[in-house]
């Protein structure tokens, strides 16, 4: 009896979760994590001229509710239709609005070296910073492992970015492995080390870097020892996979017993995931033992779901928890 009144546990807040077509599978998993999260639908149609014809059914029913939208900007073509919904929802007298955008794209291309470079990540941040406020104040934006740390500062004051990470999912998974005591974490460059080393400091680490030799750029091991270890290369995302493959070769050459990889975002444009083969219990230079990615990039998940060495670590639990903030 006393326990109940002393209990500091807040009742979970009910959330109405909307999603786009490509995030439907992840949205269903999120809703399955908690009774407090209810899936809602949107009618996504197109006019003949290609512009969206959108309708939010039962819009009156979300008044006074906490509302979230699970977005995925996998290509520029799908941004406008989702944006239209994102700009419309906060104005429907809801009590709060959260935008979950697991992967913040265009982030990798922000090497503004010249005044002529156009920062598309900044354009996206600007567009999101202008989401109208709802009765609950500024929109919360949940995103995972944003590529460049300075991008956190791209957002204006009318949005509350919540920067989450997929690393806890990796740590969980690593603890389940039979050789979990033989694991070392390798960072492909200093950028990855900066981003992740604090979350992984109880593992021995290896840091690689790219060194210029004439015209070529060669991956070298800067610090750490791979010999006899199950080395897990950790980075925020993968595109063509070139960097990971170079790291894999160097680690194998330095005696790694097994090599795996983790990235939060498996972008893999043009099916570049095909370059990654399973080691089949054999040599680490031939293949990876595991390649973990999260479900932030739904198109990739569809393609690699049942293909070794890939394993999907779902963000659903983490997102369900973030929706309670």
Applying CB under 8 A, which residues contact other proteins? 47-60, 74-81, 83-85, 87-88, 92, 105-106, 108-109, 114-120, 122-124, 126-127, 130, 132, 239-240, 267, 269-270, 272
Task: State yes or no: cis peptide before 207, omega within 30 of 0.
Answer: no
Minimum CB distance to other proteins smaller for 79 or for 308: 79
Residue 45 half-sphere exposure toward CB, CA atoms < 13 A: 7
In the chain, the N- to C-terminal Cα span, in Å, equals: 28
Looking at the Cβ atoms of 117 and 190, the one nearer to other proteins is 117
CB of 304 to other proteins, least distance (A): 16
Least CB distance to other proteins at residue 179 (A): 34
At closest approach, how far in Å is the CB of 229 from other proteins? 32
Distances (CA, A) of 173 to 180, 203, 243, 262: 9, 14, 23, 11
Cβ of residue 306: shortest distance to other proteins, in angstroms?
23
> Are the C-beta atoms of 52 and 2 separated by less than 8 Å?
no
In this structure, the number of other CB atoms found within 10 A of the CB of residue 190 comes to: 13
For residue 28, the minimal CB distance to other proteins (Å) is 22
Give the nearer residue to other proteins in terms of CB position, either 79 or 162. 79
Q: Which residues have CB under 8 Å from 147's CB, separation 6+?
A: 104, 107, 108, 110, 121, 236, 237
Cross-strand partners of 263: 235, 293
126 vs 286, which CB is nearer to other proteins?
126
Quick one: 165 or 272, whose CB is closer to other proteins? 272
Min dist CB 127 to other proteins, Å, is 6
Token representation of residue 154: 């791209």
In the bound state with other proteins, the residue whose beta carbon lies nearer, of 154 and 262, is 154
Q: How far is CA 2 from the centre of its chain?
A: 42
């Amino acid at each position: 009896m006393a326990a109940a009144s002393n209990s500091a546990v807040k009742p979970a807040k009910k959330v109405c979760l909307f999603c786009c077509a490509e995030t439907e599978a992840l949205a269903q998993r999120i809703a399955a994590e908690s009774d407090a999260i209810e899936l809602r639908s949107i009618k996504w149609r197109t006019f003949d001229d290609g512009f969206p014809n959108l309708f939010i059914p039962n819009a009156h029913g979300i008044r006074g509710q906490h509302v979230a939208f699970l977005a995925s900007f996998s290509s520029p073509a799908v941004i406008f239709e989702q944006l239209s919904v994102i700009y419309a929802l906060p104005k429907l007298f809801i009590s709060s609005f959260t935008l979950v955008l697991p992967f913040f794209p265009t982030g990798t291309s922000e090497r503004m070296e010249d005044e002529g470079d156009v920062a598309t990540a900044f354009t996206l941040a600007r567009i999101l910073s202008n989401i109208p406020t709802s009765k609950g104040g500024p929109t919360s934006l949940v995103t995972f492992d944003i590529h460049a740390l300075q991008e956190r500062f791209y957002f204006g004051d009318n949005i509350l970015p919540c920067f989450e990470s997929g690393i806890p999912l990796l740590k969980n998974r690593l603890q389940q492995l039979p050789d979990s005591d033989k694991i070392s974490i390798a960072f492909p460059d200093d950028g990855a080390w900066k981003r992740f080393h604090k979350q992984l400091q109880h593992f021995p680490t290896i840091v690689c870097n790219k060194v210029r030799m004439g015209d070529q750029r060669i991956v070298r091991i800067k610090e750490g020892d791979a010999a006899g270890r199950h080395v897990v290369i950790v980075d925020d995302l993968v595109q063509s996979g070139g960097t990971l493959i170079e790291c894999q070769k160097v680690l194998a050459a330095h005696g790694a017993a097994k090599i795996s990889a983790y990235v939060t975002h498996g972008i893999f444009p043009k099916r570049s995931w095909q370059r990654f083969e399973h080691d089949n219990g054999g040599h680490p230079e031939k293949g990876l033992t595991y390649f973990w990615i999260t479900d932030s990039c739904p198109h990739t998940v569809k393609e690699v779901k049942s293909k070794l060495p890939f394993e999907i670590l779902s963000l659903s639990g983490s997102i369900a928890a973030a929706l309670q903030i």
